[in-house]
Every structure is written in structure tokens, then in C-alpha cells.
């Protein structure tokens, strides 16, 4: 994993993932900076529908259809 200063949004730090319940498989974890890239947004196709995930100026995420 790259150092924080190598990511597009070095001010954002990933929170530790909560532990899965006993017997459950851990969910995939992807750093938002890596997912959103330098543009701060990504388009996701889910069940033939297009969604846009973007970071706001306040550092929050918004998913729109």
C-alpha cells in the first residue's frame, strides 16, 4: 500500500475496519482515495444501472443514480 503522501487525498485516513462477527467472512476493503482517483469520483455499474460516487468539498461521499 502506498504511503499517505502518495495518495490523491493525503488528508484522508482510513478508519480501522470493524471485526466481522464470528464465523462471518470479512468484506472487501478498498481505500476511497484509490477508488475515487485524482478526480474524486468513480462511476459504478450495478445491475445494469449507472451510479456516480463522488467526494464532496467537505470530504463526505455521495452516491447518485
Task: Provide the pLDDT for residue 41.
Answer: 96
Task: Note the pLDDT tens digit of each residue in 27-38.
Answer: 788 899 999 999
Reported as a pLDDT band with limits 50, 70 and 90, residue 57 is very high
Task: Note the pLDDT tens digit of each residue in 3-55.
Answer: 444 555 555 566 676 777 777 777 788 899 999 999 999 999 999 999 999 99
Task: Provide the pLDDT for residue 10.
Answer: 57
Reported as a pLDDT band with limits 50, 70 and 90, residue 1 is very low
Distances 61 to 21, 26, 27, 32, 56 between C-alpha atoms, Å:
26, 22, 19, 9, 6
Amino acid at each position: 500500500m502506498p504511503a499517505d503522501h502518495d495518495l490523491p487525498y493525503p488528508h484522508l485516513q482510513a478508519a480501522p475496519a470493524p471485526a466481522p462477527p464470528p464465523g462471518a467472512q470479512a468484506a472487501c476493503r478498498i481505500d476511497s482515495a484509490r477508488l475515487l482517483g485524482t478526480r474524486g469520483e468513480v462511476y459504478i455499474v450495478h445491475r445494469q444501472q449507472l451510479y456516480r460516487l463522488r467526494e464532496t468539498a467537505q470530504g463526505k461521499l455521495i452516491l447518485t443514480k
